[in-house]
Amino acid sequence: MDEGLKALRARIDSIDDAILQLVSERAGIAQQVGRAKNGEKIYRPEREAQIVRRLREANPGPLSGDTIERLIREIMSACRAVEETPHVAYLGPVGTFSQQAVHKHFGHEVEALAETDIDACFQAVETGRADFALVPVENSTEGAIGRTLDLIVESTLKICGEVMLPIHQTLMRKHGGLGGIQRVYGHAQSLAQCQQWLSRHLPNVERVSVVSNSEGARRAAAEPDAATLGSETAAELYGLTVVEKRVEDEASNTTRFLVLGQTDAAPSGRDKTSLVMGAHNQPGAVVKLLQPLADAGISMSKLESRPARSSNWEYLFFVVCEGHREEAKLAGALAEIKARAAFLKILGSYPAASS
């Protein structure tokens, strides 16, 4: 072997020894931290977010910030599991984008529980079968996921985290390319996110909405003239071949997921707070409700209205604003909103996702 290559590999070996040493030492300390917590909750989203941000800022390259985040989250996942493995309910079955979001946020040392619908994800935590639920709340192309918003109003669960997942849709089938496809399966959201691409490349092909992309993959595996949309991992899981990658109409297509638990998160230094409020049925009532945020100079990253399911108020307004509910500025604005609103519920404060 070339002497130069041999020397470089010897350096990699000694770096790997050092990484092994350090990761083991880190896990040992996490074990001590777990004991020091004395029965208090193990998962600390604010601490994990601070670690991720610090390393992203200190990153000397050549690895990207996203790669550094992925590596450190996986290391934290392994260290956390030395203390306790969280049970996380998500919208299944296996192979969905929701499952990807679970691993992006919690790493792979989790007990990921595939649920049949969003309601079951909430129930899993409410009944104590899971520690956390991870559910989709909005997509950058298709907008809000109404069921999640409706459930969150009624539930006692709190938002303790958010996950942003770039969604790349893959067209897959058992064998072959675009020719001979008679049907394309997909979850309604996926079909909607790819409608222009489908109209251009498969104009006369029937689009069939199914409960999940994984169900589409299961069917496509059994029907040679059918294809399905979904995540690339589904191709491996269901023995399909990839016809075309990235068939979504918007290249920046992203889904935002929420992590829900029994409590929200402590302040991390860069947080968001979600709330839902109902306005009195008077002219200018909504403006009056939002005014305290504007007066305090608090930015709002989201305002979404939904028909109220009770008849007391006509609409509910979902707001995501900057800051933690314990910070004086936001606490003051929230107290003012409470005084003006017909209804106010703080859904939780949580670390803002870094990517």
Residue of 73, 80, 103, 173 that binds ligand PRE (CB under 6 A): 80
**Phi then psi for 84, rounded to 5 degrees?**
-170, 140
Site track 18-47 with ligand PRE (rule: CB under 6 A), x = hit? ------------x--x--------xxx--x
How many residues at the interface with ligand PRE, by CB under 6 A?
12
CB of 43 to ligand PRE, least distance (A): 5
Q: Which token pair is 97?
A: 């984008």
Nearer to ligand PRE, 6 or 35 (CB): 35
Query: CA-CA distance, 259 to 274, in Å (whole number)?
Result: 12
Q: Does 76 bind ligand PRE (CB under 6 A)?
A: yes
Q: Which residue has the tokens 């003006």?
A: 340
Q: Which token pair is 99?
A: 């499952």
CB of 42 to ligand PRE, least distance (A): 6
Q: Does 72 bind ligand PRE (CB under 6 A)?
A: no
Nearer to ligand PRE, 25 or 206 (CB): 25
Nearer to ligand PRE, 48 or 162 (CB): 48
Nearer to ligand PRE, 44 or 272 (CB): 44
Closest-CA residue to 122 (of 100, 161, 154): 154
State the angle between helix axes of 3-36 and 65-83 in degrees (0 to 180), rounded to the nearest 10: 50
Question: Among 10-18, 75-83, 148-156, 188-196, which window interacts with ligand PRE (CB under 6 A)?
Answer: 75-83
Q: Which token pair is 169?
A: 């849709």
Element (H, E) at 150: helix 146-154
CB of 37 to ligand PRE, least distance (A): 7
Which amino acid type is present at position 90?
Y
Asked if residues 247 and 202 have their Cβ atoms less than 8 Å apart, the reply is: no
CB of 162 to ligand PRE, least distance (A): 16
User: E-strand spans in 11-131?
Assistant: 87-91, 111-115
Where does this chain bind ligand PRE (CB under 6 A)? 30, 33, 42-44, 47-48, 51, 76, 79-80, 83
